[in-house]
Amino acid sequence: MTLKMGVVGTGAIGREHIERITKRISGAEIVALSDINQENAEKIIRDFKLDARFFATDAELIAADVDAIIVSSWGPAHEETVLKAIEAGKYVFCEKPLATTAEGCKRIIDAEMKQGKRLLQVGFMRRYDAGYEMLKQALDAKEIGEPLMLSCQHFNPQVDENYTTDMAVVDTLIHEIDVLHWLVDDDYESIQVFYPKQTKNKLTHLKDPQIVHLVTKSGISIHAEIFVNCGYAYDIQCRVVGEEGILSLPEVSSLGIRKDAKRSENLLMDWKKRFMAAYDNEFNAFINAIEQTGSPSYPTAWDGYVAAVTADAGVKAQQSGAVEKIDLPETPDFYRI
C-alpha cells in the first residue's frame, strides 16, 4: 500500500516534508498540494517532478483522492483544516501547534472521538530523536529509580524581529513541554516563569533569556532555560536526576579536532540539522502505524491538547510572575496507547 498524501501549506517546513517523503521515506507519495501562494506550490511540483495536482483550497484537497493530509500551513489555520480532514475521515499529520488555543485542541479531540478512531498525529518530532528515545528507554526501565529533578536548555543562536516574549513558551519551550511530559509520563501541575539578567543581544521588545519552573503531579521539579539569542550555537540539553543516578541527553556526534594546542568539536547552528533524522523517523512511524494498525502513531491529539493547556498557563505565568496552576483532566481511554 502506498499512502496518497496531500500537503496543505507549502512554505519552508511544508517543502521539507515534501522533500523527505519524495526522496527519503517509502510507503507514501505526494499527490496534491494547496497553498495561498499558488506559484510557490506549482514550483514545488516542478522542482520535485511530482505527479500532483494543485488545489486552491484545503477543502478541495481534502475532498480529492487522498488518504492523508499533512498540515504545515500558518499555525492559526491548523484547526480549521484539521477539523475538515477529520470530518472527512482522512488521516492527518499536523505540525505544531495543533491549534493556537486549548479550546481549539479540545474541538479537534471531540471531532476525532466522534469518528471512533484515532486519525491524527502531531508533529512534535523530539520523541523520535535517538537521544530522547534512549532517555525514555532508561527511565521506563527504572535505570536510575524514580526521576526527581530535570534540567534542560533550549538555546538558539538568534531569532528574527517577529519573535516575541510569549513565543519563548508557545513556540520554543513547547517542544520541551511535550517531550518531558512523555519522558516522565506524569502530567504537569504548575508553572512559573522568571527573567534573569537580560542579554545585550536581545531585541528591544523581547525578554531573553527566560527560566521556567514546572512541577508535575508527582512532584518532579523541572528547570528549563530558554535563551534564543545565545549567539554561539543551537544547543539542546536535558539532564534527569533520579533516586539512584543521573541520565543525560547524548551530545550530537561531532568530529573531534586537536590543533594549535587546542581540543575542539563543532556545534550546530541550524535546528533543522539537529533533528533531521527525527523528522524522518516521525513520518516513517506515521506511515507504518497506519499500514499496520489503521491509526497513526504518537503524539496524539490529546498530547497536543496537553501542550496547549500547559503553554497557556506558561504565558499567564510570564505576565504574572506567579506560580500558575495547570488544570488537566484525566487522559481519556481513547488516547491511552
pLDDT digits (tens, 9 = 90+) for 28-78: 999 999 999 999 999 999 999 999 999 999 999 999 999 999 999 989 999
Strand order in the sheet with 120-123: 53-55, 28-34, 3-8, 68-71, 91-95, 120-123
Q: Are strands 221-227 and 210-216 parallel, antiparallel or unpaired?
A: antiparallel
- Mean pLDDT over each residue of the chain, to the nearest integer: 96
pTM: 0.94
- Helices (H), ranges, 116-215: 130-140, 167, 174-184
- Please say if the pLDDT value at position 268 is more than 90: no
Q: Phi then psi for 235, rounded to 5 degrees?
A: -130, 115
What order of strands is seen across the sheet that includes strand 246-248?
246-248, 235-242, 147-155, 221-227, 210-216, 188-194, 324-325
- Residue 245 in this model has a pLDDT that exceeds 90: yes
Distance CA 9, CA 222 (A): 35
Does the pLDDT value for residue 337 go beyond 80?
Answer: no
* pLDDT for the residue 106: 96
Pinpoint the alpha helices (H) of the chain: 12-23, 38-47, 58-63, 78-87, 102-115, 130-140, 167, 174-184, 271-274, 276-293, 301-320
Rounded to 10 deg, the angle between the 130-140 and 174-184 helix axes is 30
Is pLDDT above 90 for 202? no
Cell numbers that stand for 78 in this block: 491548523
pLDDT number for residue 253:
85
| Most distant CA atoms of the chain, gap in Å | 65
Length of the chain equals: 337
